Structure 1
Amino acid sequence: MDTMRDRFAPVVSRLLDEDPRVAVVLAEIGVDGFAEARRRHPDRVINVGIREQLLVGAAAGLALTGLRPVVHTFASFLVERPFEQVKLDLGHQDAGAVLVSAAASFDWPAGGYTHMAPGDVALLDTLDGWTVHVPGHPDEAAALLRHAVAAGDDKVYVRLSVQSNGEGLPVDGARFRTVREGGSGVVVAVGPMLDAVLAATEGLDTTVLYATTVRPFDAEALRRAVRVARPDVVLVEPYLAGTSTAAASDALSDVPHRVLGLGVGRRELRRYGQLAEHIAAHGLDARSLRERIGGFLEAGVRA
């Protein structure tokens, strides 16, 4: 199966052909995938070189002229390194763009800590007005990329990952999807965490919600779920643990509830290892998730 990133260049190249407002801004990463598109649209496929601050600044300039820039590189170089430009050039100037990342939290362990960005969504949470898509399958990535580009002049972050669920589900760029219903609690699985969550909760009487758009947070879906299930909520996110716990608590502010945030820990893993080893080390494999989710929900029953 191809990866989410494999879908990126073909989808956006078609959007360049279809919409004269679309422009692509790259910082060396991914340039080869746009070779043909650059021949067709030399004025709208721009490579700024390894200059990530310029990457975002140039995109903001294009947006202010009326274009819809799609900006791409590794997450750590797209959100963390040029954060001041994301904050000021895009946010402060009300300039919209579609930021599309690669490498997720630790997709390429051999790249070391410089190429890991588990805090990207939490960092964007410090800013106003960002939509954040976290697809869990290449089909969902393609759909959400199109949705993001078509979203007027909004500020949108699309987080691509090597990790993927076995099957894609219909996504609308807004709402959580109910995958399983139960009464003993609610588990929200974000993007590529769905398969592991379904395996971890097999046989448990839990509702499983699937989230591929996490900002804005679908508060109403969570509120509906806790009307039929005990208001014990577990969030399983493929980035920094606890990123969405405040959003979940805000959604249930008038309901007595418990929230557990599972995701990537803050402790730096200094051995390169393999992707699966990093997943396990952060407790995001199915077996670890079953222990942590089961223990949390059982404690709620005893309380």
Structure 2
Amino acid sequence: MTAADFAGTKTALALASSDVTMREAFVETVTAAMDTDPRIAVVTADISAGNFAEARSRHPERVVNVGIREQAMIGVAGGMALTGLRPVAHSYAPFLIERPFEQIKLDLGHQDVGAVLVSIGASYDDPVWGRTHQAPGDVALIDTLPGWTIHVPGHQDEVRALLSTALAGDDRVYLRLSTRRNSRAHSVEGFTAVRTGSKGVVVAVGPMLDSVLAATSTVDVTVLYAATVRPFDHAGLRAAVGSNANVVLVEPYLRGTSAHKVATALADVPHRLLALGVGREEEVRAYGTAEQHDVVHGLDTAGLHHSITHFLG
């Protein structure tokens, strides 16, 4: 292969990667892993069942679709885990986390077995479907249960890295996918400093990074990126803050979900915190687009810039 051929191949791969959605990266990664790891099993409740047709053709005994029975999906996953399998349960966030929450608490948590729960839809990726397909409170809800790792990737390549590690483990993992994504992937280990500044620290979670970078392009702040929010990188935040204790937390779900984690990390450091995210005060009943919902919640670039600069004075 010539240097020109190699360069062309790298370009083609980069373009292919940019065209793949987080959902597609998830399906591809799990399907490939099932060929080498006989523990991995997939449980769906109609949503995305057709995406696993290839995996079902090769491993029919380990790909189960229970129909529109989300509680049963988690119960089946719990039973699989008790037999030694590594179940992956998948649906829209409200159907995966909110509707079967009791089964997550009991069939997985109380039985102390592991599973990988992978959601799509995020807080309001598909507002055309209405409130039934929106789940801004999913991370806060999972956060009430002990022993969960929570990933909020901002790029499809991060999905592959996080999912590969999750599939090889035995613990309880929630992987929150979105149609919103950053222009490039970043490290998924702890908090990554994407930009450094002197007036404060902005923590951008998952798909919020590009908007935060645009909103703070003229603001002298450090921007930390987080693709994993549980466990929370207390040491990483503390190191970035130093003696400059102005912290802005930008999450793509319910505002203030990780505020208690910031408080714990900075328990002995006087600090100010601005928590930005999906509003708690009242429900947005309009449909519209995801970008229009961003504006309502102040999560668009202009809204973020206004909130951050006003907070920093």
Is the shorter-chain TM-score for this pair beyond 0.5, marking a shared fold?
yes
Displacement of 1:204: 1.2
1:186-231, CA deviations, whole angstroms, 9 ceiling, x for partnerless residues?
A: 000000000000011112110100000000000000000011x611
User: Following the alignment from structure 1 to structure 2, what is the Cα–Cα distance between the partners of residues 148 and 263?
Assistant: 26
- Which residue in 2 is equivalent to 1:275? 290
- Which residue in 2 is equivalent to 1:17? 35
- Which residue in 1 is equivalent to 2:23? 5
For the residue of structure 2 that corresponds to 1:100, the secondary structure is strand
Candidates 73, 89, 92, aligned match of 1:71: 89
- Which residue in 1 is equivalent to 2:113? 95
Displacement of 1:9: 1.1
User: Following the alignment from structure 2 to structure 1, what is the Cα–Cα distance between the partners of residues 106 and 241?
Assistant: 39
For the residue of structure 2 that corresponds to 1:238, the secondary structure is strand
Q: Percent identity?
A: 62
Structure 1 residues 57-68: aligned runs within 5 Å:
57-68=75-86
Q: Is 2:270 aligned against 1:253?
A: no
Candidates 179, 187, 194, aligned match of 1:170: 187
- Which residue in 2 is equivalent to 1:154? 171
For the residue of structure 1 that corresponds to 2:41, the secondary structure is strand
User: Following the alignment from structure 1 to structure 2, what is the Cα–Cα distance between the partners of residues 197 and 285?
Assistant: 9
Aligned-pair Cα RMSD in Å: 0.9
Stretches of 4+ aligned residues off by more than 2 angstroms? none
Q: Is 2:216 aligned against 1:198?
A: no
Structure 1 residues 33-112: aligned runs within 5 Å:
33-112=51-130
Tell me, yes or no, if the aligned pair for 2:197 and 2:220 is still in contact at 8 Å: yes
User: Following the alignment from structure 2 to structure 1, what is the Cα–Cα distance between the partners of residues 170 and 21?
Assistant: 27
User: Following the alignment from structure 1 to structure 2, what is the Cα–Cα distance between the partners of residues 286 and 272?
Assistant: 20
Displacement of 1:115: 0.6
For the residue of structure 1 that corresponds to 2:61, the secondary structure is coil
- Which residue in 2 is equivalent to 1:301? none
Q: Which runs of 5+ in 1 are unaligned?
A: 299-303
Candidates 248, 265, 270, aligned match of 1:234: 248
For the residue of structure 1 that corresponds to 2:68, the secondary structure is coil
What TM-score, normalized to structure 2? Answer: 0.92
Q: How many residues align?
A: 294
Q: Which runs of 5+ in 2 are unaligned?
A: 1-18
- Which residue in 1 is equivalent to 2:15? none
What TM-score, normalized to structure 1? Answer: 0.95
Q: Is 2:197 aligned against 1:182?
A: yes
